[in-house]
Amino acid sequence: MLNYLHQLFYTIKNKLRREIRKKNSQIIPKQKNNFLNYKGDKIFDPIIFTPNFINDEIKMPLYNKEITKILNSQQDEPYVKFVRKFYKTISLKHKNHSNYVDMIKVLHVISKLIKPENYLEIGVRRGRSISIVAQNSPLCELYAFDMWIKNYTGVENPGPIIVKKELKKVKHKGKIHFFNGNSRKTIPEFKLKNPNVFFDLICVDGDHSFYGATVDLRNIIEMLKIGGYLIFDDTNSFEHPFLKNIWKNTFKNRDDFITKEFDELGLGVSIATRIY
């Protein structure tokens, strides 16, 4: 009897999952460089660059040198100076592999691999991270969401003007859309006006309050393409320890995403790719 109930439970559950997969496959676009869009029957989800692959790839010392070069070209501020010094140090000392991972490196590696055609970022500030994506994918269409709070963290924060300058330095040729305001409002407004727009790459680095970060993640998660990547910053921050749990709780009951957390060094960053 117990075995029968077990089989019945999974028969029903798998039937529902197959229907969801079928529906998603019809309405959600695929990330061109991270999903084998095979038209016949697939025996598994053909993701090419999984989070575990990213985990191994990102350890290559080469990327430390590339990030150092990128940071040297960006405008000075206290945070950049510190990270630039750290990357310069580990570039010399991490000979065979490197265990330091932050949002900048994750964006650099993933954007080099999947070559996104469009990218959404919450928390743009001075354009440091969005310009990394633009450099690796110059024709990428960019969607920049921020409040551009004056003198945020004690640093001048002039908004789109400085972001455009950073993008010009990396020779970005695609379109750039700016959305000024609280992302808890601007993202739902955008979704309402653009229900059929899905993204290759999304980065959430905006409101770090418990409520704000939770809402941002929930608002954008369904906007990701199959094979697309979602990045959530500061999941090991001592100032925001709850961000790690927000991330884990968002995905704990979902089997349509594969996740990976980098929290050994630094402020932590977490990534997820959609499989159906």
pLDDT at 190: 98
Which pLDDT score, from 0 to 100, does residue 131 have? 96
At residue 7, the pLDDT reads 84
CA–CA gap between residue 161 and residue 144 (Å, rounded): 12
Give the integer Cα–Cα distance in Å for 248 and 254: 10
pLDDT for residue 4: 75
According to the model, what pLDDT value does residue 8 have? 77
* CA 21/CA 26 separation, integer angstroms: 9
3 state SS of 25: helix
Give the DSSP letter string of 66-99.
Answer: HHHHHHHTSPP-HHHHHHHHHHHHHHHH-SS---
Q: For the chain, list the domains and their CATH numbers.
A: 101-274 (3.40.50.150)
Q: How far apart are the C-alpha atoms of 111 and 135, rounded to whole Å?
A: 9
CA distance 131 to 54: 20
Q: Quote the CA–CA distance of 150 and 156 in Å, as a whole number.
A: 7
Number of neighbours of residue 186 by Cβ within 10 angstroms = 17
Q: What is the pTM of this model?
A: 0.93
Write down the pLDDT at residue 269: 98
Per-residue pLDDT of the chain (276 residues; tens, 9 = 90+): 777 778 878 788 888 888 888 899 899 999 999 999 888 888 899 999 999 999 999 999 999 999 999 988 887 778 888 999 999 999 999 999 999 999 999 999 999 999 999 999 999 999 999 999 999 999 999 999 999 888 776 677 788 999 999 999 999 999 999 999 999 999 999 999 999 999 999 999 999 999 999 999 999 999 999 999 999 999 999 999 999 999 999 999 999 999 999 999 999 999 999 999
Distances (CA, A) of 77 to 101, 151, 153: 20, 12, 10
Position 275, amino acid? I
Contact yes or no for 210/240 (Cβ under 8 A): no
Q: How far is Cα 125 from Cα 107, in angstroms, rounded to an integer?
A: 16
Q: Can you tell me the distance from the alpha carbon of 181 to that of 237, in angstroms, rounded to the nearest whole number?
A: 25
Give me the torsion for CA of 123, 127, 132, 133, rounded to 10°.
60
Q: Using DSSP, state whether 63 is helix, strand or coil.
A: helix
